[in-house]
Structure 1
Amino acid sequence: MESRRSEILSLVQQHGELPVTELSKLLGVSEVTVRSDLKVLADAGQVRRTRGSVRLPLDVRRESPLEQTRHEHTAAKRRIGRAAAALVRDGETVFLDVGSTTTEVARALSPTLQGVTIVTNGLNIALELERLSGVRVIVTGGTLRPLQHSLVSPYALDVLKHIHADRLFLGCNGVHPEHGVTNANHEEAEVKRVMVAQAREVIVVADHSKLFQVSRAHVAPTGRVSALVTNRRGPEPPEALHRAIPNLHLV
């Protein structure tokens, strides 16, 4: 029984959401047995039951300070940062969102870049970019959130609405095939949504721990995501996520 429930968790983590009928076939047991297992898992907060299916639970973990998250999955975030930074070209205007992974994008940007304008609402990111002589840095302004060193409304939204960017490097707390890109803080999510609206390309940078997670505030549907840069955890990307975001960069 414990082994079967562990397998259910593994399948749900792999696919994000599965119908009860599909789980029954995959496990070779009756739907009644599957529903009994799902009740136990749901009562423990490990899954969410919906009508006829099961999905991962809503991510309600407390938001962690940047100084803490920068030490989580550090090697993966550095690889993601290098891969994303390599996409920036001379002459582009870029939105660079707040977060520990986007900070790694800033650190990995080439010192040979010329004529690039980077717009950010992250104070720590603006400081990281000071070393780049060929990059013009615009800070949005707004109200400071010390937890992430981020700037939010008022004023941040007003600045962003007057700028059109070639690409946005977007951080988040969750990427889910059905529920899209989500974030733990509603004020930051508001800024992210405006960035998405004002950018030609949206590139999500997220390590494997964010995949199939759903956090409090909606940012964008997966259909608006141009590419997802994430780290390789297994031999192949999860099929459901790959279908939702075909341009998947694994590092």
Structure 2
Amino acid sequence: MSLVQRYGEVPVAELSKLLHVSEVTIRSDLKALEQSGQVRRTRGGVRLPLGNQGETPLEEAGRQHAHAKRRIGQAAAALVQDRETVFLDVGSTTTEVARHLSPTLRGVTVVTAGINIALELERLPNLRVIVTGGTLRPLQHSLVSPYALEVLRHIHADRLFLGCNGVDAIHGVTNANHEEAEVKRCMVAHAAQVIVVADHSKLGEVSRAHLTPLSRVSALITDRHGDGLPPALGQVLRDVQTV
């Protein structure tokens, strides 16, 4: 439990090595811990159970750096072209992307795990909107595994607009929630282009769940603030658009 609390999520194989016992023993103990509600099993590992405690509601997050997120959303939405299939991730910045998609777009399919994003897109009758399904995370209005992953595995997108909690030159793109991270990683795997939309407060930050290395990121759209982009990020990212 100490290791899980320290790292958030730990593979079974790693626990076996650290505690010098067999994986069979580890799995037996994890089963007992899960039954008591202390942990949640994942594929090949274990993590702390995720609830809504301590999470910032999506509406409150949207008020933080609101002007920056609006400009980022406008710039990102302008990239979408007719007849594209687009993954639109959950979050306050990606919600701004949805709000700024052009009503003149034709033949575009938007796939999202965000219920609020799907509702935003109702105003665009020429867009086809696919909602992944899954288990609802109420404060974030997002849908997570298991069903979200099953839908995404059957779709190939031209581009993904990816939200996050951190963009770091070494640790890549990270997110605070492990359940949402599963869905985001699946989107990354099935998108031709990955475009990260993140305001300046996320730059240089590292959060709990890894999403993708920066080598997989086609572009970063962020806002101008203070000293600008951290030099280390500028050296690694191929395309940075500041708005």
State if a TM-score over 0.5 links the two structures. yes
Q: Which has the larger radius of gyration?
A: 1
> Following TM superposition, by how much is the alpha carbon of 1:236 offset from its aligned partner in structure 2, in angstroms?
4.6
8 Å Cα contact 2:203/2:230 also seen in 1? no
Deviations 1:175-208 (A, max 9, x none): 0000000000000000000000000000000000
Q: Equivalents in 2 of 1:124, 1:130: separation in Å?
A: 10
**1:127 corresponding residue in structure 2:** 119
Deviations 1:151-185 (A, max 9, x none): 00011000000000000000000000000000000
Question: Runs (4+) of structure 1 moved beyond 4 Å?
Answer: none
Matches within 5 A, 1:162-181: 162-181=154-173
3-state SS, counterpart of residue 77 of structure 1: helix
Matched, 1:99 2:94: no
Q: Equivalents in 1 of 2:224, 2:189: separation in Å?
A: 29
Matches within 5 A, 1:17-166: 62-166=54-158
Q: Equivalents in 2 of 1:147, 1:238: separation in Å?
A: 31
> Following TM superposition, by how much is the alpha carbon of 1:147 offset from its aligned partner in structure 2, in angstroms?
1.6
Q: Equivalents in 1 of 2:228, 2:199: separation in Å?
A: 15
Corresponding residue to 1:225 among 198, 214, 217: 217
**1:243 corresponding residue in structure 2:** 235
Choose between structure 1 and 2 for higher RCO, CA contacts under 8 A separated by at least 6 residues. 1
3-state SS, counterpart of residue 70 of structure 1: helix
> What is the TM-score with the length of structure 2 in the denominator?
0.77
8 Å Cα contact 2:204/2:230 also seen in 1? no
Q: Equivalents in 2 of 1:118, 1:80: separation in Å?
A: 18
> Following TM superposition, by how much is the alpha carbon of 1:143 offset from its aligned partner in structure 2, in angstroms?
0.3
Corresponding residue to 2:188 among 193, 196, 203: 196
Q: Equivalents in 2 of 1:228, 1:236: separation in Å?
A: 13
**1:57 corresponding residue in structure 2:** none
8 Å Cα contact 1:63/1:184 also seen in 2? no
8 Å Cα contact 1:80/1:229 also seen in 2? yes
- 5+ residue gaps, structure 1, are 1-61
8 Å Cα contact 2:173/2:210 also seen in 1? yes
8 Å Cα contact 1:81/1:101 also seen in 2? yes
Q: Equivalents in 2 of 1:234, 1:147: separation in Å?
A: 31
- 5+ residue gaps, structure 2, are 1-53
User: Which deviates further from its counterpart, 143-152 or 63-72?
Assistant: 63-72
3-state SS, counterpart of residue 201 of structure 1: strand
8 Å Cα contact 1:91/1:114 also seen in 2? yes
Q: Equivalents in 2 of 1:97, 1:148: separation in Å?
A: 12
> Following TM superposition, by how much is the alpha carbon of 1:235 offset from its aligned partner in structure 2, in angstroms?
5.8
Alignment RMSD, CA only?
1.2
> Following TM superposition, by how much is the alpha carbon of 1:133 offset from its aligned partner in structure 2, in angstroms?
1.7
8 Å Cα contact 1:81/1:105 also seen in 2? yes
